[in-house]
Amino acid sequence: MSSLQPSKILSVSELTNIISGLIENNLDYLWLEGEVSNLRIPASGHCYFTLKDSNSQIRAVLFKRSRQSIPFDLKDGQKLICLGNLNVYAARGEYQIIVEKVEAAGLGSLHLAFEQLKKRLAEEGLFDENNKNKIPLHPEKIGVVTSATGAALRDILKIFEGKRLKPDILIAPVRVQGEGAASDISEAIGALDRLNDIDLIVVSRGGGAIEDLWSFNEEKVARSIYCSKTPVISAVGHETDICISDLVADLRSATPSIAAETISSGMSRLAEDINSMEARLTAATKSIISSCRNRLRGTTNRLKSPEKTLNDLRIELDELSWKLKSSTENKLKDLRSALSLMTGKLNSLSPLAVLARGYSIATSIRDGRIIKSAEDINKGDSLSLRLNKGSLICIVGEKPADL
C-alpha cells in the first residue's frame, strides 16, 4: 500500500462542484467583450457560441428566452458585449458564460438593428421617392397618431391656436413607447387611412433616446406608412433623431411643431425644448431601477436557485440529441454496407448464378433425385433438365462407351 495517506479523496464530481461554487459565488454578473465564432442554434432555439479575442476564448450560452429580447440577429464574426454570469457545466468540466443581455460592440444593439432593417427596406424600395404621395397644401382634415397626453400633441395643437384658417384635427391616441406601442401606431395609421374624409396623417411623438423612439423603427409601422393611400408626415423626436418612419413617410418633419407649421402653410414655427422634468424623472427612475436590480442580483446570488440545474439539463439534452442523431446515422450506414456485402456473397453462391453460366441440373422424374453421375441413370430413364431459362424433359438414350 502507498505510504501517502490523503485526508480526503475527492471524486471528479466533488471537485467540479467545489470549482463551480468558487466561480459562481465569487463572480457577480459581468460584461464580456469578444468575437462570435462557432455559432449554433439547434431546434430548441438556444444559442451556443464561442466568444474569443486574439489570445483566448470561452464558451457562451444564450437561452431562447433571453435571445428573444435581442433586436438583431447573431452571426459569426460579430463583435459583441455580453452581460452574464459564469457557470460550470459539470458534464464537460468546463466553465462558460450564461448570457442574458447582448449589445453590439462599437455600434449599439438598437443601432445595429436599425441599420439592418433600414438596409432591407431600402432594397425593397420603401424609401424610393417615386413611391411617395404628394403632401396637400391645404388639408381640411388631418389625423394625428400620437400619445393623448404627450408633449407632441400639445405642440401641434398650440401651433394651430388662433389661426384664422386651420384644419379639423382627429386624434388617434396611442402608446408611443414600450411593449405594444408599435402595434398601436400601425393599427391607428390603417384606421385613419380607411376614413374617406382624412386628407393627411401625422405620426408624431416628442424626443428621447433611441430606446424611447424605437416603436417608430419597427417594421410593422414602416409598412403601414408605406401602404397608406393617405399622405403621411413623420414628426418624431428632435431634429437630429432619424427613425425608419421618417425615411418611409411621404414627408419628414424635424419636430412635431415643424409638422404643424408645414400644414399651416408657412406660419411661424413654434419650437419647444423637451420637457427637462421628464428627462430628470426618466434618469431618476432608471437609477432607482438599476439600484433595485443590483440588490436583487445580490440576493439571488446568495440563494441556491434551481435555474443552474435546469440550464445544465437543457445543455445536456441538446448534446444527447446531437449524439443520438450521429450514432443512428453511423449505425444505419454500417448496416447498409453489411447488407450490400452479404447480398453479393449470396448471389455468388446461388445455384441460379451457376445456371446462368450455361450449366443445367438433371433430376429424375421418377423419384425426384438430382443426377450427379451417369452411373445413376439407365437407358430409357426420364429426366428433367433445369436450365437458366426454362426446363426440358429428356429420355436417356445410349450411354457413351467410355462410361
Question: What is the full per-residue pLDDT of the chain (403 aa) written as tens digits?
Answer: 455 556 677 766 777 777 777 776 666 788 888 888 899 999 988 999 999 888 888 899 999 888 887 777 788 878 888 888 888 877 777 888 889 888 777 655 667 778 888 899 999 999 999 989 998 888 889 999 999 988 889 988 888 887 777 888 999 999 998 889 999 999 999 999 999 899 999 999 988 777 788 899 999 999 999 999 999 999 998 877 789 999 999 999 988 988 888 887 643 333 334 446 666 778 778 888 888 888 877 776 666 567 777 888 888 888 888 888 888 888 888 888 888 888 777 776 767 777 777 777 888 888 878 887 777 788 888 888 777 788 888 888 876 655 5
Q: Which residues of 159-179 are buried (b: 16+ CB within 10 A; e: fewer)?
A: bbeeeeebbebebbebbbbee
Q: Taking the model in full, what pTM does it have?
A: 0.45
Looking at the fold, whether 165 and 270 belong to one and the same domain comes out as yes
For residue 269, what are the domain limits?
111-128+138-274
Looking at the fold, whether 63 and 50 belong to one and the same domain comes out as yes
Looking at the fold, whether 115 and 143 belong to one and the same domain comes out as yes
Looking at the fold, whether 93 and 118 belong to one and the same domain comes out as no
Written as one letter, the residue type at 63 is: F
Is residue 182, in this structure, part of any structural domain at all? yes
Looking at the fold, whether 70 and 83 belong to one and the same domain comes out as yes
CA 50/CA 390 separation, integer angstroms: 70
Quote the distance between the C-alpha of residue 32 and its chain's center.
22
The mean of the pLDDT values for the chain is 82
The DSSP secondary-structure symbol of 68 reads T
- E strands along 63-124, which residues? 79-89, 94-104
**CB-count burial class (<10 Å; 0-12, 13-18, 19+) for 214:** buried
> Do 44 and 318 form a contact (C-beta atoms < 8 A)?
yes
Cell numbers 450490400 label which residue? Answer: 340
The confidence score (pLDDT) of residue 111 equals 74
Among 274, 289, 307, where does a domain finish?
274
User: For a pLDDT cut of 90, what percent of the chain falls above it?
Assistant: 22
> Do 364 and 377 form a contact (C-beta atoms < 8 A)?
yes
CA atoms within 13 A on the CB side of 62: 24
Looking at the fold, whether 75 and 90 belong to one and the same domain comes out as yes
Looking at the fold, whether 90 and 119 belong to one and the same domain comes out as no
- Count of the separate structural domains present in the chain: 3
Residue 261's CATH number: 3.40.50.261
Looking at the fold, whether 216 and 122 belong to one and the same domain comes out as yes
Looking at the fold, whether 168 and 257 belong to one and the same domain comes out as yes
**CB-count burial class (<10 Å; 0-12, 13-18, 19+) for 269:** middle
Looking at the fold, whether 51 and 149 belong to one and the same domain comes out as no
Is residue 229, in this structure, part of any structural domain at all? yes
- Tens digits of residue pLDDT in 98-127: 898 887 776 556 677 788 888 999 999 999
Closest residue by Cα to residue 185 from 194, 175, 195, 193: 175
